[in-house]
Amino acid sequence: MNMKDFSLEGKIAWITGASYGIGFAIAEAYAAAGATVVFNDINQELVNKGLAAYAEKGIPARGYVCDVTDESAVNELVAKVEKEVGVIDILVNNAGIIKRIPMCEMSAADFRKVIDVDLNAPFICSKAVIPAMIQKGHGKIINICSMMSELGRETVSAYAAAKGGLKMLTRNICSEYGEHNIQCNGIGPGYIETPQTAPLRERQPNGSRHPFDQFIISKTPAARWGKTEDLQGPAVFLASDASNFVNGHVLYVDGGILAYIGKQP
């Protein structure tokens, strides 16, 4: 085994929605592995926040405003990146949203919005970068899926539908473009410590765990929430030459939740 196969030296990586959280952690790992980082977010405020965070880490990232559900805007962004930075070697479809609403209380408009961001946008972004990847003779597309690609849970019907669809889009990109040396895989994070999940991990006034925190710990063989750092190694592997014969796969980074039926009461 050649450890250089894990290097991303000379590669250009575009991570969508990577101003903070999981996307930022993946971008940080890619920079450490030698890649040039490009990211986008929905507005200038978030892009500025991201640029400041990257600068604090000493990472010379390029940030752009782009709505990944807007096909014209995505095509313009890809053309701009190719002109200013170079052809994109690695795409991470990280941008996503969730609306926790019981299905029968959820409007069709809210359902469509989640599908648009979590499924249509990865389709749009992947379609935008694949032609240049074909010309270059290689490419890596990594979709941030979820355990909800495999499981359902109350209040997340739209999110689960989108992530299940993203799993199948991952397999289909593999099927259509694998012969062009393009690998499309997914990462399925478990429950990860991020600013969005912080309220679910706060200690209660009596010092006990939040009920949802208790639930997650009880369902996870690792007996903890994941950290964004737990996703960095898998993300580098799937972006590197070390994974050149891995295609159409979703790598679940979940502390073992999907393998576990739970403790007997």
Give the pLDDT confidence score for residue 175 in this predicted structure: 98
CA distance 31 to 36: 6
Q: What would the pLDDT profile of 90-144 be if each residue is shown by its tens digit? A: 999 999 999 999 999 999 999 999 999 999 999 999 999 999 999 999 999 999 9
Give the pLDDT confidence score for residue 263 in this predicted structure: 82
Q: What would the pLDDT profile of 30-85 be if each residue is shown by its tens digit? A: 999 999 999 999 999 999 999 999 999 999 999 999 999 999 999 999 999 999 99
The yes-or-no answer on residue 159 being catalytic is yes
- Residue from 30, 54, 159, 177 carrying the catalytic annotation: 159
> Residue 241 carries which side chain, given as an amino acid letter?
D
The closest alpha carbon to 224, from 234, 233, 214, belongs to 214
Question: Is the pLDDT score of 22 beyond 80?
Answer: yes
> Secondary structure of 165-188 in the HEC alphabet?
HHHHHHHHHHHHHHHHCEEEEEEE
pTM of the model: 0.96
| Residue linked to tokens 């939040």 | 210
Phi, psi of 247 (to 5 degrees): -150, 135
Q: Do the Cβ atoms of 153 and 160 come closer than 8 Å?
A: yes
Measured between its terminal Cα atoms, the distance across the chain in Å is 46
Q: Sign of torsion, CA 167 172 175 177?
A: negative
Q: What would the pLDDT profile of 196-241 be if each residue is shown by its tens digit? A: 788 889 888 888 889 999 999 999 999 999 999 999 999 999 999 9
Beta strands in 168-247 (DSSP E): 182-189
